[in-house]
Structure 1
Amino acid sequence: MTPFALPGVYAPQGDTDLLVQSLRREPLLPQARVLDLGTGTGAVALAAARLGAKVTAVDISWRAVLNARINAALARLPLRVMRGRLLAPVSGRSFDLVLSNPPYVPSPAADRRRGAARSWNAGHDGRLVLDRICRDVPALLRAGGVLLLVQSALSGPEKTLRLLRAAGLNTQVVEHRRIVFGPILRSRSNWLQSRGLLEDDDEKEELVIIRAERLP
C-alpha cells in the first residue's frame, strides 16, 4: 500500500524511493532499533517496519505526525511517531539505523520555512538541517550503527562526507540518481544559476545517498 499524503505534508517522491531502496539493502537484525528523522507520511519508516525493525519516527509537523500514524494504522504496522525538532524527542536513546530525507533545497532568504515548505527549504546553502544531522546523529549510533541520508548535490554532499568522517564514521556515497526538476527547483533555476549551483542548460538534479557507519 502506497502511503497517502495529507495536504501540506511532503508526498513520497524520487528521493523517498531512493532512500527506501538503500534501506532494503541494509542487513537489519530482527527488532533492530531504527529512527526516521523528518518522517512526513511515514513512507520510509513503514518500509523499515516491514523489514521487522522496531521503528521510531519523528517530525516537527503535527500534521505529518498524524499522517504517519494514519498510514501505520492502515498498513497495520507498529510505528512509534513522535512530534519534535530533530533529535529532541529521542534524547538519550541509541539506534542501529538512522534514516533521513531532510530538507536540502537551497532557498532564497525570502522563501521561509513555513507549512509544507519546511519539507524542502533549507537556507541559502541547503544545509540548515543537514549540518545539525551531521553534528548530532553520530552520538545516537550504536557500535556498527548506520546513518542513511539522502540529499541533493546542490547542498554540498562533500561537506556532509567531511563532517561525518570527522565524527569518526566510515562514510561514503553509495547511490546516485538524476531526476528531472520538480516545480520548486524549476521556479528557482535562475537564482541557483546566479549562485553558480546550476548550469544554464541543467534540467536534472542529482540525488545521492550517503551511508555513514560507526565501526564496532
Structure 2
Amino acid sequence: MVAVTSSVPVTDPTLLDALRSDLRSADYTLDGVRSLLGPVAADALDREEALPARVVTASALASGADGRATLLRLFQLGEDVTRAALDAVLPTLRTAGAERLGLVATQGADDGDAVRAVVDLSPYAAVDAAGEVDWWIASDLGEVARRGALPENFVLGVGGASRTLAQITVREPRGSVLDVGTGCGIQALHASRHAGAVVATDIDARALAYARFNAALAGVRLDLREGSMLEPVLGETFDLVVSNPPFVITPRGEAGVGEFTYRDGGAVGDDVVRSLVTSVGSVLAPGGVAQLLGNWEHRRGEDWAERVGGWLTESGLDGWVVQREVQDPAQYAELWLRDGGITPDRDRARFEGAYAAWLADLDRRGVEGIGFGLVTLRRPALAGAAVSPWRRVEEITGTVAQPLGATIARVLDAVDLVRDLTSEALLGRRWQVAGDVTDERYFTPGEASPRVMLLRAGGGFARTVRTETGLAAFVGACDGELTGVQIVAALGTLLEVDAAALAAELEPQLRGLITDGLLLPAP
C-alpha cells in the first residue's frame, strides 16, 4: 500500500491543460459519475457511505476498462489503482504527470505497481446566474478515503455549507468581490463569473494552495492573500463579500476535540461570526452586500433574535438573519465530532472525552441550543443619508426554493423601494400580485365566510401570510390597472369603513408584502 502524505497540488499550466483534457475525455463529471453509480450508490456516497460505490466500481472494472470507475476509486474512494490503469484513463497527462502535479503517489515504475491518490479530486456541477458550470475541485482526502479521523490542517472540498452559500449569493454583476476564508476556493470561482475582480483570503497557506490549483484548473484568475479574516484587505472596499467562515463553536484547549482549521476560528463561542458581522462594513462599498453563514448560541434567559439582532445594530448596516435550523448541545457535539472523523467505533475514549468537553463548554455559557443560518448585510448606497437601517431577524425552517440568490436580491431592491416611498406614494402606485402567489381560503362547513385566508408564495422562501378581509380584498384587486388609492376607496365603500382608516391599517401590511415579493410594482 502506498503511504498517503499531507501535501498540496502543484499549479503547472501545461500539466493542468493535459489533466483537464483527460478528465473531460473520461467523462469524469458529476453526471458521468452518477450515471456510472446509479442513484442508490451515488446518494449513499453523498452521505459518505462508500460501500455501494466500491461495489459498483469494482463490478464496472471487472467488466472492462472504465475511466470513470478508475478515477472515482482513486480520488474519492481511497483505493489503489495500477499505473497502467491510470495511464490509460489519463493518456495525455499519464501517471508521471499526475505525480508531478502532486495528485498521486506511486509505489514503482512498472505497469502493475500501485498508485494512490494524495488529494481528493472530485467533479463539481452547479447552475448560477451565468449558466451551468462543470469544474473539478481538489481538496484533502476526506474521511471516506482516509478511513480515519481527519488531520487538524484538513482542507475541505465542497460541502453542504459551501453549496448553500453558493445558492444564496446574489449574482448581479459586481466590480469587485471578496471571499473571506476561501478554503478550496469554490465561492471565489463562482464569483469570478459575475465580477470584474475577485480577492480571496485565508489564514491557511495550504488552503490557498488548493484554491490556486482549482482556479488554474478552471481557467480562472484570482487574487489570493494569506491572513486572518479581513486583515489582508484593510483599507479596501468591495461590492460583494461572501464568507463561509470557520463558524463552528468549539471547546478551547481541550485535548482530543480537534481544532480543525477549516471550521474553527479560534474564538470562544460564536465570537467569530459576531466579529465578522460587526466588522464587515469596513470593507463594503456603498451599495455593497455581504453574505455569510454562521452559528449562534441560544443562551439561557436570552432571546436569540435580540442577541443576534444586536450584532446587526452594531454593524450599522441593513441586516437580515434567517435561522434555518436549531440543534441542542448534544446534537451539535455529535455532528461536529463525526464531521471530523472522531467516532466511538474508531476511538471510544477520545470520542467520549471530546463529547463531554463540548457539553461542558456550552453549559458554562448557558447554551441551550445552537442556531444555523444565513446573514445578509448591506451598506446603503446613499452614504450619510438620514436613512434608518432595515433589520430583520427571523426563523424559516421549512423547504425553500433554491437557488435563493435572486430572491434575496429582489428583497434588497424592494427594501430600497419601500423605504423611499411615502404613504401617499405607496398608495398612489399600481401594484400586481407576483405570479407564484396563491390565495388559499379555509371554510368551516356550513359557514359562508372563510375562517382562514392565506397568501402563499410558491418560490423563494415560500412565505405564507395570513390575511384579514381588507388586505385579502386589496391584494385581490391588484391587477396592475388600479392605483392603491382607487382600490382603498372602492373597498371603503364596499366594506362600509372609513377609507383613510383602512389605508392606515393596510399600509404596513402592504410594505411587508412588497418587501417579501408577493406584491410587485406594475410595469
TM-score range for the pair, normalised by the shorter chain length: 0.7 to 0.9
Measured after TM superposition, the shift of residue 175 of structure 1 is: 6.4
Q: In the alignment, which residue of structure 2 is the partner of 1:167?
A: 315
Any idea what SS the aligned residue of 2:140 has?
Answer: coil
Measured after TM superposition, the shift of residue 211 of structure 1 is: 0.3
Measured after TM superposition, the shift of residue 12 of structure 1 is: 2.2
2:138 counterpart of 1:20: no
Q: In the alignment, which residue of structure 2 is the partner of 1:126?
A: 270
Q: Deviations over 1:39-90 (max 9, x none)?
A: 0000111111123452100001111111101000000112111111222211
TM, length-normalised to structure 2: 0.36
Q: How does 1:1-216 map to 2 (within 5 A)?
A: 1-6=135-140, 8-23=154-169, 26-29=170-173, 31-111=174-254, 117-121=260-264, 122-127=266-271, 129-154=272-297, 158=305, 159-174=307-322, 176=324, 181-182=335-336, 183-184=338-339, 190-194=356-360, 195=363, 197=367, 207-216=372-381
Aligned length: 205
1:36 partner amino acid: D
User: Contact (CA 8 Å) 1:18, 1:209: kept in 2 or not?
Assistant: no
Q: Which has the higher helix share?
A: 2
| Alignment partners' CA distance in 2, 1:198 and 1:84 | 33
Any idea what SS the aligned residue of 1:36 has?
Answer: strand
Measured after TM superposition, the shift of residue 146 of structure 1 is: 0.9
| Alignment partners' CA distance in 2, 1:87 and 1:155 | 26
| Alignment partners' CA distance in 1, 2:242 and 2:168 | 10
User: Contact (CA 8 Å) 2:250, 2:259: kept in 1 or not?
Assistant: no
| Alignment partners' CA distance in 1, 2:139 and 2:317 | 34
User: Contact (CA 8 Å) 1:28, 1:53: kept in 2 or not?
Assistant: no
Structure number with greater Rg is 2
User: Contact (CA 8 Å) 2:177, 2:240: kept in 1 or not?
Assistant: yes
Any idea what SS the aligned residue of 1:133 has?
Answer: helix
| Alignment partners' CA distance in 2, 1:189 and 1:28 | 43
Gaps of 5+ in 2: 1-134, 142-153, 343-350, 382-523
Any idea what SS the aligned residue of 1:32 has?
Answer: strand
Runs (4 or more) in structure 1 with deviation over 6 Å come to: none
| Alignment partners' CA distance in 2, 1:175 and 1:213 | 18
Measured after TM superposition, the shift of residue 16 of structure 1 is: 0.9
Measured after TM superposition, the shift of residue 18 of structure 1 is: 0.9
Identify if the C-alpha distance between structure 1 residues 144 and 59 changes in structure 2 by more than 3 Å, giving closer, same or farther.
same
Identify if the C-alpha distance between structure 1 residues 53 and 20 changes in structure 2 by more than 3 Å, giving closer, same or farther.
farther
Q: Deviations over 1:174-204 (max 9, x none)?
A: 46257993514885555444425467xxxxx
Gaps of 5+ in 1: 200-204
Considering only aligned residues, what root-mean-square deviation do their CA atoms show, in Å? Answer: 3.0
| Alignment partners' CA distance in 2, 1:119 and 1:107 | 12
Q: Deviations over 1:137-173 (max 9, x none)?
A: 1111111111101012448874444223322211112
User: Contact (CA 8 Å) 2:139, 2:184: kept in 1 or not?
Assistant: yes
Measured after TM superposition, the shift of residue 136 of structure 1 is: 2.4
Any idea what SS the aligned residue of 2:316 has?
Answer: coil
